[in-house]
Structure 1
Amino acid sequence: MQVMNQYEQGPLTEKSECLYISREGKRYQENTRILREQKIDIIINEKLILHTMCTPQYLTEAVLGRLRTEGIIEKVDEIEKIHIGNDGKIATITMKNDAWNEKQCKKLSPVSPVKWKEEWIFHLADILAEGMPLHNETWGTHSCFLAKEGEVIFACEDIGRHNAIDKVVGYALLHEIDLKKCMLYSSGRMPSDMAEKVIRAGIPIAVCKAVPTAEAVELAKKYRLTLICAARPDRIRVYVS
């Protein structure tokens, strides 16, 4: 796969003045840092297929991960070239299969369970509790870790928890990391569409700081995904193991 990323990352945040009002009626102007967004149109074989709105960082990873978690690709060798323009607004994908179309999106398949240890989960929860740079600055991001045996391989932040998952999956694809031996830790909730992303990526263990939905639990049971939620430094809830 040929990667051509002409986008030069600019600032992720900018200063914004706001009026602070307390419940007691105290008022004053204050400067805060707020996140910037980047809209990306994903064009596959000259056809607009997807849009994504994300923090303007790790754009190649975001696009590749989205292709994987949507079931469009399984491996990067299905792609001939990925090109991201210098404004970061368009990602052009050339697939090796010229006849590709969106109807080819692959169905969900069960993941292969792996053994895990409680201390791995608590270690990841401890890392998140220490804080992430952009969240500490803006209070505006979700975080996602790609880990193996409790050790973080890659961590990222984004305005959306779905985007953060895409970025860690894309990172794994770019660096030829076997997702079947990894776990994913997310700072957000785990609804069914998040669980689908993890299953499509082939990741056997999904961990999140918040709670799942009933549909996410059912998906995890059906596709053999280990699902651990409400994962914090002092306790975890194992919904599917």
Structure 2
Amino acid sequence: MTISNQLLLRFLTLKLYNKTQKTQTKTGEQKMYKEKDVIIAGKKQKKKIPIEEPTSLFINGKHFKTFMITPEMKKEFTIGHLICEGLVSKPKEIESIDIEGNEINAILKGYKQQPSQGLIVSGCGGGTNYLDEENLPKIKNTKKFNLKQINQFMIEVLETGKSSGLHSSGIKSQTQNFQKIIKDIGRHNTIDKIVGAAIKQKINLKNCYIVSTGRMSSDMALKCAKAGIPIAGSHRSLTTLAIEIGEKTNLTILGKLSKPKKTEIYTNPNQIK
């Protein structure tokens, strides 16, 4: 991306962002929803609509990506995205994260500059069209995870996100007293945010599992694998490439988790009890 194109993208992002600033509370915290007028059965009503706003990530001073996200937990999102995309291998490689409005500036140690990836819309995570098998991570896990507990957590995540208009994902530790459920306009964004939230709490990701209300696609499976999380699942369907990633990275992938008697184990069943 040329400098002029970067400047244009930044200008458009700022213009879009400024339109969302009325959603801020008096304390400066942003809401996840904005009330809009809607006609239902001929009657005008107010309805809470999920907010989608552009947020740009700059790494070591240069534009990396602009995302469409739900405007909260931006620091957790950044930490998780850097880990889940393999841009850093350990949290200590992140020297600092500064957030100002819709711009996130991250300073990383030993980072090799990459081309700007432009705008990533909320409906996709950037895409995984092929597998670079040489660079795929290998999850090292000898523990077994209780399937009934995973089913129960999936049902809890579904209940939390019911009628929200947002995707929900949850992360839970099998050995530490930690669980987190997060909602966002993009299902892949929820993975970044829950991983970031766990890292902030110094949770060992190797003892965690992730569940999501969204379809487990290849980009989501790869995020989990790069974060070192051994179990990932959804109450919905999966894709063939997600299953292939599970097979090659030792990630156990589960489907139909909200139906305990019909739960599907696609890969690495040895990690489930």
Alignment of 1:87-236 (within 5 A): 87=101, 89-97=102-110, 100-102=112-114, 107-113=135-141, 114-132=143-161, 135-136=162-163, 139-149=164-174, 153-235=179-261, 236=263
Match of 1:3 in 2: none
Q: Deviations over 1:25-56 (max 9, x none)?
A: x5332221101123211111111012221111
Displacement over 3 Å in runs of 4+ = none
- In 2, Cα distance between equivalents of 1:107 and 1:28: 56
Report the AA paired with residue 38 of structure 2.
C
Percent identity, please: 29
Contact 2:173 2:208 in 1 (8 A): yes
What is the distance in 1 between the residues matched to 2:74 and 2:140?
A: 29
Aligned to 1:29: 44
Q: Give the letter for the 1:118 counterpart.
A: L
TM-score (norm 2): 0.75
| Higher share of residues assigned strand | 1
Contact 1:120 1:149 in 2 (8 A): no
Q: Does structure 2 retain, via aligned residues, the 8 Å contact 1:145–1:152?
A: no
Q: Which runs of 5+ in 1 are unaligned?
A: 1-6, 21-25
Report the Cα offset of residue 209 of structure 1: 1.1
Residue in structure 2 matched with residue 17 of structure 1 by the alignment? 37
Local SS of the residue matching 2:34: strand
The 1-side partners of 2:202 and 2:160 are apart by: 28
* Contact persistence 1:71–1:107 (CA under 8 A): no
What is the number of equivalent residue pairs in this alignment? 221
Q: Is the 8 A contact 1:188 1:210 kept in 2?
A: yes
RMSD of the TM alignment (CA)?
2.1
Correspondence for 2:88 among 70, 73, 84: 73
Q: 1:156 to 1:214 in 2, by over 3 A?
A: same
Q: Aligned with 1:101: secondary structure? A: coil
**C-alpha distance in 1 between matches for 2:165 and 2:211:** 18
Counterparts of 1:58 and 1:15 in 2: how far apart (Å)? 21
Deviation (angstroms), 1:233:
4.2
Q: TM-score normalized by structure 1?
A: 0.85
In proportion to residue count, which structure has more helix?
2
User: Does the residue aligned with 1:8 lie in a helix, a strand or coil?
Assistant: coil
Residue identity opposite 1:63 in structure 2: T
> Per the alignment, in what secondary structure is the counterpart of residue 107 of structure 2?
strand
What is the DSSP-based 3-state SS (H/G/I as helix, E as strand, rest coil) of the residue aligned with 2:150? helix
**Partner of 1:232: helix, strand, or coil?**
coil
Compare relative contact order (CA 8 Å, sep 6+) and give the higher one, 1 or 2.
1
Give the secondary structure class of the aligned counterpart of 2:56: strand
Question: 2:20: which partner in 1?
Answer: none
Structure 2, unmatched stretches of 5+, are 1-26, 116-133
1:8 to 11, 28, 43: 28
